[in-house]
Amino acid sequence: MDETEIYQAQGFGHHLGFGERPALLIVDFVEGFADPDMFGGGNIPQAIDATVPLLALARRQGWPVAMTRIVFAEDGSDANLFSAKVPGLLALTEANPASALVAELSSEPGDLIIAKRLPSSFFGTDLAPWLTRARVDTLVIAGCTTSGCIRASVLDAMNHGFRPVVVADCVGDRALGPHEANLFDMGQKNADVMTSSEVFALVEGERAAEAATT
């Protein structure tokens, strides 16, 4: 019995499916994580490129959009255990261009831009109440890194009752081993893992079906 069969035999990997009100969360696609000499590398550049049409889809569909950035104080007064483990994160301050969203994924009025200092997009932020006010039930997730802030955000999305959908080609990591392992594990335990093509087919297929019945 291979690994996938073991999970299936034990009842893992069931699909959660899309609900009625999706939102898009883009995690930490900032200049510092796009730079392989800083925090980037691996397949992060390709994930950013793949997220451009995903964001355009969310705009067309009128989904709420949230984007996160890691931002510490200039004087390091808000340093924490995350920055103790990865001290270079303290360089991501508001004044540092490395903390800015990548140009390809610009925000628009009405988006929620979250400054965070820990891996989860939910911990200590307004994300959960903002999604609840918008009556969101499904959170489509892109960003980086798959093994870090994506994983933490997926777990907290599930804990808050939002259906997590991880878009496999729109999340990236500086190392492909952790990327692939975490996609597999999240798909078995915490989220639906779909490609952007599958998301497009599902969303646009439903829209076409609705138009055909009107």
Query: By the 8 A CB rule, do 142 and 87 touch?
Result: no
Could you give the CA distance from residue 117 to residue 114 in angstroms, rounded to a whole number? 10
Residue 70, H or E segment:
strand 65-70
How many Cβ atoms sit within 10 Å of the Cβ of residue 26?
Answer: 28
Residue 171, H or E segment:
strand 163-172
**Catalytic residue, candidates 23, 55, 102, 149:** 149
Which tokens belong to 193?
A: 């893992």
Which tokens belong to 91?
A: 């360089």
Among all chains, which residue has been given the structure tokens 């959009």? Answer: 65
Query: By the 8 A CB rule, do 127 and 151 touch?
Result: no
- 149 carries an active-site annotation: yes
Amino acid at residue number 139:
L
Active site residues: 149
